[in-house]
Amino acid sequence: MANYQSLAAEGMWNNNPALVQLLGLCPLLAVTATVINGLGLGLATMAVLVGSNITVSLVRNFVRNEIRIPVFVMVIASFVTIIQLLMNAFTYELYLALGIFIPLIVTNCAIIGRAEAFASKNKVLPAAFDGVMMGAGFTLVLVLLGGMREVLGAGTLLSGADRLFGPIASNWTLTIFATEQPFLLAILPPGAFIGMGLLIAAKNAIDNRLTARQTKQKKQVTRIRVTAES
Amino acid sequence: MKLTLSSSPHQRVQRDTGQVMRLVIYAMAPAMLVQMYFFGWGLLIQSIIAVSTALITEAGILRLRQKPVVRALSDYSAVLTALLLAVSIPPGLPWWMTLIGTFCAIGIVKQLYGGLGFNMFNPAMVAYVILLVSFPAAMTMWLPPVQFMADPLSFADTVSLIFTGYTQAGLDVAQLRTVADGITMATPLDAVKTGLTEGLTYSEAIQSRIFNGGLANSLGAGWSWVALTYLAGGLFLLKTKVINWHIPVGMIGSVVVCATVLHIADMDFYASPLFHIFNGSLLIGAFFIATDPVSASTTNKGRLIFGAAIGFWLVIIRTFGGYPDAVAFAVIIMNMAVPLIDYYTRPRTYGHGSRSNKRGR
């Protein structure tokens, strides 16, 4: 299981927590009105995921099977509290923008799912790496969806970057187009659902195309051999 | 010898989808002409934008889905969807909004669900709601009927208004809506809604100028004539058996019942049933939109329930909701309930499940 390459592929693509496992959809759909909100929540989730995976992996041999779930939840809750306090201290505006969805990271099934399915059965280093990759996969989707919705709905990208990166980023906002009548649907919840559906569809389409290409190559090989024999 | 087995119905009206859709379009045509007479060239330009966008979107997505393009395009369903959207939107709407709306109707609501016959929702109505939710200001900018405008828009002015946002004289829609003496003309439904929120009673609210020259006292000028022509078109559809009577009757009947109950309860606040029927888009909704064979209920009893429920929601949303008209919302809400309605109104097969042998089932 300690094959890092396959762990990376699982987290980012094959078993992406947002696109394939469809976990943590509530924060995913709720906060992705802008790239920065998505990135902020993605990084927070990733930090919690890495922390909880490491801790769960460390204690996996001491926690009895019967009480493992409460222990996991407490570990996750502690990390969420730490992250929440850190965000409150250093990125206060982002903290306000994300609101309830920071404490709600506790209930993100992707995290307890990884604790149960991977961290509790593996050594510390692979568990940490799995946390990084699953978190990165989740963040990637949050950023993509946030980007789609922000461009369509407001015509900008990276607006409010200073909330996350501090005053240096105050002029990072890219204006793709300026409009007095933004496409509000993209910013509103339906835009999140439709955008998420389109992302999943795109992922499946790419997968289908890849498998089709592989089978085609195999077919070509057989045909060549048949003609050679006949 | 070849014996073909096919499921019922065995006797069918020999009409294919294309003919049905064309008949509906013919039935709409007079009303569209009346609408153009009262509200200017905008509808024609919006129809052209919508129909061409619809055909291009449909062709593009069918191509992606590797389905036969020509056959699907020649069934006129995309054209009908585009026309239904075009008559629902304000005639001066910027062109790119019509484009987005039609693209959503055909691309997302129809083709993503599997194309004609598979869409859960009425494409034109979802597109209308998408536009209304996204661009609330532009989508409520109806120009007043022609007789109230200081000088009616020429064709060139309308084109320029739709594509640049300004007429050739540099007026935008908000300015055009302001009639000679500085009063902004609202639609009949808007006028009453605003009047009521400003503390007028219903009978005071319908004194608004927009009701001068309508069919009757409380019926909006221009709008009520358009509605009447849609009623005529709808009766033509009934006569030619393109639609059944159940949905229109259920819908209008339930509007009459709900509106009458409210009106009797408090005449100062609740509009009369006649007001509800001839203002806004109820009649086009009852005959042309709710009767969409794909997204409506498929059993006769179900159709009655479907229509009646739409009528109920229509009155509730018009009276208590934030938006002045509600046909689109009501239709979409009931589209979601169609599988449930169909499940509970399945007609009894002959010889099965009758009351006498229920136990034996």
Where on the phi/psi map is residue B140: left (φ > 0), alpha (ψ -120 to 50), or beta?
alpha
Distance from the A150 Cα atom to the nearest Cα atom in chain B, whole angstroms: 14
* Residues B116, B156 contacting (CB under 8 angstroms): no
Which of chain A's residues have a Cβ under 8 Å away from the Cβ of B100? 183
User: Nearest residue on chain A to B139, judged by CA atoms?
Assistant: A181
Which of chain A's residues have a Cβ under 8 Å away from the Cβ of B97? 181
Question: Span A3-20, mean pLDDT?
Answer: 84
* Residues A52, A76 contacting (CB under 8 angstroms): yes
C-alpha to C-alpha distance for B105 and B128, rounded to whole angstroms: 8
Which of B97, B134, B173 would best serve as a mutation to test chain A binding (most A beta carbons within 10 A)?
Answer: B134
> Per the domain annotation, does A220 fall within a domain?
no
Quick check: helix, strand or coil at residue B74? coil
How much is the mean pLDDT over chain A?
85
In B76-180, which ranges are E strands?
A: none
Residue A153 has pLDDT above 50, yes or no: yes
Mark whether B166 and B210 lie in a shared domain. Answer: no
A210 reaches B (C-beta below 8 A): no
Residue B305 has pLDDT above 90, yes or no: yes
> Per the domain annotation, does A224 fall within a domain?
no
Which of chain B's residues have a Cβ under 8 Å away from the Cβ of A183? 100, 134-135
C-alpha to C-alpha distance for B43 and B168, rounded to whole angstroms: 19
C-alpha to C-alpha distance for B263 and B269, rounded to whole angstroms: 8
Q: Give whichever of B38-47, B142-151, B205-214 has the largest mean pLDDT.
A: B38-47
Confidence of residue B215 (pLDDT cuts 50, 70, 90): low
Confidence of residue A227 (pLDDT cuts 50, 70, 90): low
Structural domain for B171, as ranges: 16-179
Q: Which residue has the higher pLDDT, B345 or B153?
A: B345
Q: Which residue has the higher pLDDT, A219 or A196?
A: A196
Which of chain B's residues have a Cβ under 8 Å away from the Cβ of A182? 134
> Per the domain annotation, does A206 fall within a domain?
yes
> Per the domain annotation, does B135 fall within a domain?
yes
Please tell me the predicted confidence (pLDDT) of residue B207.
77
Task: Please list the residues that pair with A156 across neighbouring strands.
Answer: A175
Which of chain B's residues have a Cβ under 8 Å away from the Cβ of A186? 134
B108 reaches A (C-beta below 8 A): yes
**Which tens digits make up the pLDDT trace of B162-171?**
888 888 887 8
Quick check: helix, strand or coil at residue B178? strand
Q: How many distinct structural domains can be found in chain B?
A: 2
Mark whether B75 and B168 lie in a shared domain. Answer: yes
Q: What is the 3-state secondary structure (H, E, C) of chain A?
A: CCCHHHHHHHHHHHCCCCCCCCCCHHHHHHHCCCHHHHHHHHHHHHHHHHHHHHHHHHHCCCCCHHHHHHHHHHHHHHHHHHHHHHHHHHCHHHHHHHHHHCHHHHHCHHHHHHHHHCHHHCCHHHHHHHHHHHHHHHHHHHHHHHHHHHHHHHCEECCCCHHHHCHHHHHCCEECCCCCCCCHHHHCHHHHHHHHHHHHHHHHHHHHHHHHHHHHHHHHHHHHHHHHHC
Residue B193 has pLDDT above 80, yes or no: yes
* Residue type, position A63, single letter: V
Q: Cβ-count burial of B166 within 10 angstroms (0-12 exposed, 13-18 middle, 19+ buried)?
A: middle
Please tell me the predicted confidence (pLDDT) of residue A225.
53
Mark whether B129 and B274 lie in a shared domain. Answer: no
Mark whether B172 and B194 lie in a shared domain. Answer: no
Query: Which B residues in the span 85-104 are in contact with A, Cβ-Cβ below 8 Å?
Result: 94, 97, 100
Please tell me the predicted confidence (pLDDT) of residue B48.
95
> Per the domain annotation, does A225 fall within a domain?
no
Please tell me the predicted confidence (pLDDT) of residue B180.
55
> Per the domain annotation, does B63 fall within a domain?
yes
Last residue of a domain, one of B142, B158, B179: B179
Mark whether B270 and B336 lie in a shared domain. Answer: yes
Question: Span A79-96, mean pLDDT?
Answer: 91
How much is the mean pLDDT over chain B?
86
Question: Span B328-357, mean pLDDT?
Answer: 84
The residue with tokens 């008949």 is B23
Residue B360 has pLDDT above 60, yes or no: no
- Among B222, B235, B231, B211, smallest CA distance to B35 is for B222
Please tell me the predicted confidence (pLDDT) of residue A106.
87
Distance from the B142 Cα atom to the nearest Cα atom in chain A, whole angstroms: 17
Mark whether B20 and B164 lie in a shared domain. Answer: yes
Please tell me the predicted confidence (pLDDT) of residue A230.
45
Taking an 8 Å cut-off on Cβ atoms, the answer to whether B130 and A185 are in contact is yes
The residue with tokens 């990165």 is A136
Q: How many distinct structural domains can be found in chain A?
A: 1
> Per the domain annotation, does B4 fall within a domain?
no
> Per the domain annotation, does A95 fall within a domain?
yes
Mark whether B334 and B196 lie in a shared domain. Answer: yes
> Per the domain annotation, does A33 fall within a domain?
yes
**Alpha-carbon dihedral B224, B225, B230, B231, rounded to 10 degrees:** 80
Q: Cβ-count burial of A94 within 10 angstroms (0-12 exposed, 13-18 middle, 19+ buried)?
A: buried
Give the contacts of B271 (CB within 8 A, at least 6 positions apart).
B192, B202, B218, B259, B263, B318, B319
> Per the domain annotation, does A219 fall within a domain?
no
Mark whether B236 and B174 lie in a shared domain. Answer: no
**Which tens digits make up the pLDDT trace of B253-267?**
999 999 999 999 988
Question: Span B234-249, mean pLDDT?
Answer: 92
Mark whether B328 and B236 lie in a shared domain. Answer: yes
User: Nearest residue on chain B to A195, judged by CA atoms?
Assistant: B108
* Residues B226, B31 contacting (CB under 8 angstroms): yes
**Which tens digits make up the pLDDT trace of A43-52?**
999 999 999 9
The minimal CB distance from B133 to the residues A181, A184, A194 is found for A184
> Per the domain annotation, does B360 fall within a domain?
no
Residue B297 has pLDDT above 60, yes or no: yes
Residue B282 has pLDDT above 80, yes or no: yes
Structural domain for A46, as ranges: 4-213
Burial B201-220 (b: 16+ CB within 10 A, else e): ebeebbebebbebbbeebbb
> Per the domain annotation, does B350 fall within a domain?
no
> Per the domain annotation, does B9 fall within a domain?
no
Residue B357 has pLDDT above 60, yes or no: no
> Per the domain annotation, does A218 fall within a domain?
no
Which of chain B's residues have a Cβ under 8 Å away from the Cβ of A188? 133
Last residue of a domain, one of B153, B179, B205: B179
Please tell me the predicted confidence (pLDDT) of residue B361.
44
> Per the domain annotation, does B140 fall within a domain?
yes
Please tell me the predicted confidence (pLDDT) of residue B13.
60
- Among B140, B145, B122, B132, smallest CA distance to B285 is for B122
User: Nearest residue on chain A to B129, judged by CA atoms?
Assistant: A185
Residue A186 has pLDDT above 90, yes or no: no
- Among A199, A218, A208, A215, smallest CA distance to A38 is for A199
Mark whether B190 and B152 lie in a shared domain. Answer: no
Handedness of CA B85, B86, B92, B96 (dihedral sign): positive
User: Nearest residue on chain B to A179, judged by CA atoms?
Assistant: B135
Mark whether B29 and B175 lie in a shared domain. Answer: yes
Please tell me the predicted confidence (pLDDT) of residue B175.
78
Mark whether B68 and B143 lie in a shared domain. Answer: yes
> Per the domain annotation, does B282 fall within a domain?
yes
Confidence of residue B311 (pLDDT cuts 50, 70, 90): very high
Question: Span A194-212, mean pLDDT?
Answer: 90
**Which tens digits make up the pLDDT trace of B77-134?**
999 999 999 999 998 899 999 999 999 999 989 998 888 888 999 999 999 999 999 9
A26 reaches B (C-beta below 8 A): no
Handedness of CA A85, A86, A89, A94 (dihedral sign): negative
